[in-house]
Amino acid sequence: MNTPVLSAPTSRRNFLKLTGLAGGGFALAFYIRSGGQASAATAAGGDFSPNAFIRIAPSGVVTIVSKQPEMGQGVMTSLPMIIAEQLEVPWKSVSIEQGDFDTAKYGAQSAGGSNSTPNNYDNFHLLGATARTMLVEAAAQTWGVPAAECRAENATVIHSSGKKLTYGQLAAKAATLPVPAKDAVKLKEPKDFKLVGTRVPQVDSVKIATGQALFGSDIKLPGMSYAVYEKCPVFGGKVVSANVDQIKTLPGVKDAFVLEGTTDVKGLMPGVAIIADSTWSAFSARRQLKITWDEGKVAEQSWDGYVAKARADAAKPGARTLRKDGDVESALKGAAKVVEAEYLYPFISHANLEPQTTTAHWKDGKLELWSPTQIPTIAATMLKNVLKLETKDFTLHIIRAGGGFGRRISVDYLIEAAAIAQKVSGPVKLTWSREDDLRHDHYRPGGLHFLKGGVDAQGKVVAWKNHFFTFGQGGNPGSGGNLSGDEFPGRWIANYHAEQTMFDTGWPMGPWRSPGSCVFAWVFHSFIDELAHAGGRDPLELRLEILGDKNEMPAGGGGAQGKSGGAPYNTARMRNVLKFAAEKAGWGKKKFAKGSGAGLSFHFSHRGYFAQVAEVTVSKDGRLKVDRVVCGVDVGAQIVNPSGAEQQVEGSIVDGLGVLMTQELNIDRGRVVQSNFHDYPLIRITDSPTKIETHFLKTNYPTTGMGEPALPPAAPAICNAIFAATGKRVRQMPLTRTDLRWS
């Protein structure tokens, strides 16, 4: 491969990395799930893929490979911490390397769905422990003593007599030993952990703080060109003609050409590429671009039109029944009080602060890519589908992403760079402008919910009806735009009817941090709050009543015919974490002046149980300040890195608040109206909550992920607090559409 030119001086870690490459080390490659048959140096064959995560050089340098893409979720720190713990090596001496895309070598490499921790947790313990076991065996054989008389500590094996050998000294010997069977490997017990469970700063902290090259956009290769790519403002629009000949004459421009693209808006959109000698030359030339577009039929599609249609059709039967339990109409007729509400949320963008980028080099029929991608396997599929490239035809270097949030699960920008590179001599870096990023995202779909709920004379929820209008593309709802019949409170309310009607658009949609959950929790926990107030019930107490006494709620039922898309729900865990958060927040014990108040919510997603209490103050002129958010977290038995875990909670809550406050895209005649942060504002420090408290409730369940599940409860807890403070119910996102002034 070509080595990117790093402008920064060699850091200590880089230095270690370089020295680690020299000499014959102990490359531990083995089968995670079997072990036993293959020797350490030659693992091959069988049903399992060989894996190589640990390298110990004779010099003693320990290198751990991080296979998962890093985008700020801290996985490049947390998963290697597990290996280092079991391996018994001091964290400060370990060098962490990002692995390239190679599933044959590493197994799945996917950063999405908060799955990195739960899918790798046990295996990573085993990886480290197996290596430690082999090093101990190597020492025992060297000394001619039983392995049971030896122990490992601080990258050294120590015999009961006091004799010592370092891992570096043992590396060559260990490399000749067979990999022990899984059963022969003894894992360290959690009570003996020295590293896992402690606060560890990200491995790239110093590089980030000193501005060293780290990100996809920082790649620079010898002879590299710079590309921009202009697509039709209307999704899927085609190029009729473009002044490429004129563009080619502009300063710094090397080439300009049209890419025909595909008809799939999530494939390769048609457009015009400009290749130049610098980013600025490319940006400048782009301003002279004159393109005639065939906008196509998508130009007939507008958000406002769909909203009007949804409102007109709300009372009609939905296109699809998601769940039907009991008799909702009779229950509503018999209810003491009925509440009816429309909830609406718009399309929003991921808006990673690093605009989309990829560097690609096409040479002799092979493609080399440097890309910030969350799920490189999707890149492989798309390279095959769009450019007919097989896995053997390309190399993909996974580069740190300047934010993910689900955006980099899509690979449109990577495919664009690859297609451009095939027409360019030498490597080429594609840089999207912020405007490209906002106008060509794969968006979180908007939606409307028409809800009717009934409570009896005791305030118990007896009926729940929802007609959900969602958005799709190509016949399927966008990511997160499909409501499961199992989504809470489906399964818990005796008379429940949920229907879904989809508008089929030409608008690209994609997963946005906790897809579906990020909006459904807001709608449903806001509406539960409405029902609590209608029935004169405390919002916490009513929620506990709805959750009921059962400990587990199976998935499915309610006419969903096993296609509910839901998951078994551990009601006991949710009850406990809800009570836990309420207790930490002092729920019901505080007195608030008018204009201030508290609200709560909870949500189960991505295998995690989360509950939040928000305290807010709304000034008389309607300005919101979130004073405090308390978050109760049950993600199982072990918090690997409390610093990283708390970061995810803090970031998720502020992200949820930011979306609630200001984020809104209008799609008019098939194109996004907003263009940059002046008309699509993101939350700033001034609106960030004064205080966020994260409390972990440790349980005996498997350890699960943190990237997403803290987000969904934030917006409803805050909106419920706004109601407690002002009596104003927020039924539309963003908050700028609701007048919060009070007197």
| Footprint on residues 123-152 left by other proteins (CB under 8 A) | none
Give me the least distance between CB of 305 and other proteins, in Å please: 30
Binding flag, residue 678, other proteins (CB under 8 A):
yes
Distance (Å, whole) CA 473 – CA 255: 34
Residue 619 binds to other proteins (criterion: CB under 8 A): no
Q: Decide: is 118 part of the binding site for other proteins (CB under 8 A).
A: no
Cβ–Cβ < 8 Å for 70, 214 = no
Query: Binding to other proteins (CB under 8 A): which residues in 331-360?
Result: 351-355
Spatial distance between the Cα atoms of 437 and 216, rounded to a whole number of angstroms: 15
Instruction: Out of 650, 660, 704, 725, point to the residue binding other proteins (CB under 8 A).
Output: 650
Give the span between the Cα atoms of 80 and 67, in whole angstroms.
10
Contact window for other proteins (CB under 8 A) among 195-203, 314-322, 459-467, 567-575:
195-203
Among 205, 249, 476, 619, binds other proteins (CB under 8 A): 205
Q: What is the secondary structure of 79-136 as a DSSP string?
A: HHHHHHHHHT--GGGEEEEEPPS-HHHHS-----TT-HHHHHHHHHHHHHHHHHHHHH
The stretch among 178-186, 276-284, 494-502, 727-735 that binds other proteins (CB under 8 A) is 276-284
| Least distance in angstroms from the C-beta of 107 to other proteins | 24
Verify binding: residue 212, other proteins, rule CB under 8 A.
yes
Residue given tokens 């949820």 in the structure block: 656
Listing from the earlier edge strand, what are the strands of the sheet with 692-696? 596-605, 608-618, 624-634, 692-696
Least Å distance between CB 266 and other proteins?
A: 23
Q: What is the 3-state secondary structure (H, E, C) of 634-682?
A: ECCCCCCCHHHHHHHHHHHHHHHHHHHHHCCECEECCEECCCCCCCCCC
**Shortest CB 426 distance to other proteins, Å:** 15
Tell me which residue of 125, 201, 30, 31 sits closest to 702, measured CA to CA. Answer: 125
- Alpha-carbon gap, residue 190 to 552, rounded angstroms: 27
Closest alpha carbon to 62 in 83, 28, 93 = 93
At closest approach, how far in Å is the CB of 355 from other proteins?
A: 7
Minimum distance, C-beta of residue 398 to other proteins, in the bound complex (Å): 14
Among 202, 356, 470, 720, binds other proteins (CB under 8 A): 202
CB of 7 to other proteins, least distance (A): 4
In the bound state with other proteins, the residue whose beta carbon lies nearer, of 114 and 564, is: 114
CB of residue 15 to other proteins, shortest distance in Å: 12
How many Å apart are CA 351 and CA 443, to the nearest integer?
Answer: 10
- Residues touching other proteins: how many (CB under 8 A)? 72
Answer positive or negative: Cα dihedral of 137, 142, 146, 148.
Answer: negative
Binding mask 397-416 for other proteins (x = CB under 8 A): ---xxxxxx-----------
Q: How far is the CB of 686 from other proteins (least distance, A)?
A: 5
Candidates 68, 197, 213; CA nearest to 644 is: 197
Contact positions with other proteins (CB under 8 A) in 428-447: 431, 433-434
Does residue 512 sit in helix, strand or coil?
A: coil
Which residues, numbered 218-247, are part of the site for other proteins (CB under 8 A)? 218, 220, 226
Taking CB under 8 A as the criterion, the residue among 97, 204, 441, 499 binding other proteins is 204
Q: Rule CB under 8 A: is residue 215 a binding residue for other proteins? A: yes
Sheet holding 156-159, edge to edge: 150-153, 156-159, 164-166
Pattern of binders to other proteins over 682-711, x per CB under 8 A? xxxxx-xxx-x-------------------
Alpha helices in 236-391 (DSSP H): 244-247, 279-286, 303-313, 328-334, 376-387
Closer CB to other proteins, 205 or 381, in the complex: 205
Helix extents (H) in 452-590? 517-534, 539-547, 571-585
Class of residue 3 by CB neighbours under 10 A (exposed 0-12, middle 13-18, buried 19+): exposed
Q: Of the two residues 180 and 402, which places its CB atom closer to other proteins in the complex?
A: 402
Residue closer to other proteins by CB (options 540, 654) is: 654
Q: Which of these ranges, 14-22, 172-180, 201-209, 620-628, lies near other proteins under the rule CB under 8 A?
A: 201-209
- Please state, in angstroms and rounded to a whole number, the distance separating the CA atoms of residues 445 and 447: 7
What would the x/- binding string for other proteins be over residues 10 to 49, using CB under 8 A?
A: --x-------------------------------------
